Amino acid sequence: MAKILIIEDDKDLAEVLRFTLSNKGHSVQSLSGGKDALSMLRVYKYDLIILDWMMPDVSGVDVLKGFRESGGKTPVLMLTAKTTIDDKEKALDLGADDYLTKPFDSRELLARVRALLRRPESMAQTILRAGDLELDPVSCSVSKGGKVLKLRPKVYSMLEFFMRHPNQVFSAEAILERVWMDDASASPDTVRTHIKLLRRAIDAPGKEAESFIENVRNRGYLMRITRAAT
């Protein structure tokens, strides 16, 4: 299973892509704008990025350029209605790994996805560790003391976010923006509920005072990964 980010402003097409890839067992997130994409790519690591060229705020090629210039190495599949050789040359020169024009057949999309995911570098994500917790971004699995934990998808995403930003304080609103993204139904109460679920999953029983996730009065939450596991 790979972790795939779709950046596509056509909501219907994005939903088709999400459905197609999820049915193949992949973990899929989608965004509709280039500005949000650049913010997410600074925070999270993915195995593959499917990137639309034409977007209303920041174009796909500008997202690609910014991502590569910041050191991003994740394979990028450009998805666009632009069909000229000049356009393809521009995208490939800026760092795209493949280029698929609209309209397309889902079988071709999946074949190109498989080819890009076969590249060793795409699956070489670093295991994240905090005490006796281990999170594997490739398999989207979490273990504690060698025992695999079963987490709800948003609880997993929250844990990954905290582990990628150790010892940093984030307000409930900041967590909403980064973990729930385009979910308008989520609220600070949603964050608090999921913090409780996360603590229940990763903290030692009866050790609430020594939780991995700390409350910072009037500021938010942080994950202190220097704490020894108990």
Distance between CA atoms of residues 212 and 128, nearest Å: 14
- Torsion (CA) 87, 57, 156, 207 in degrees, nearest 10: 140
Q: Per-residue pLDDT for 208 more than 60?
A: no
Band of residue 121 on the pLDDT scale cut at 50, 70, 90: low
Q: What is the pLDDT of residues 152-198, one digit of tens each?
A: 888 998 998 898 888 889 999 989 887 886 677 889 999 999 999 99
Percent of the chain topping pLDDT 90:
30
For residue 117, give the nearest of 148, 75, 153 by alpha carbon: 75
Which has more pLDDT, 154 or 226? 154
- Torsion (CA) 185, 189, 195, 200 in degrees, nearest 10: -100
DSSP 3-state of 67: helix
If you average pLDDT over residues 65-79, what whole number do you get?
88
Q: What are 49's two structure tokens? A: 């990025």
Letter string b/e over residues 55-69, b meaning 16 or more CB atoms within 10 A of that residue's CB = beebebbbbbebbee
Strand pairing class (133-136; 128-130)? antiparallel
CB contact set of 230 (below 8 Å; sequence gap of 6+): 204, 207, 210
Distance between CA atoms of residues 122 and 125, nearest Å: 8
Q: What is the pLDDT of residues 11-53, one digit of tens each?
A: 899 999 999 999 888 889 888 888 888 888 888 888 899 999 8
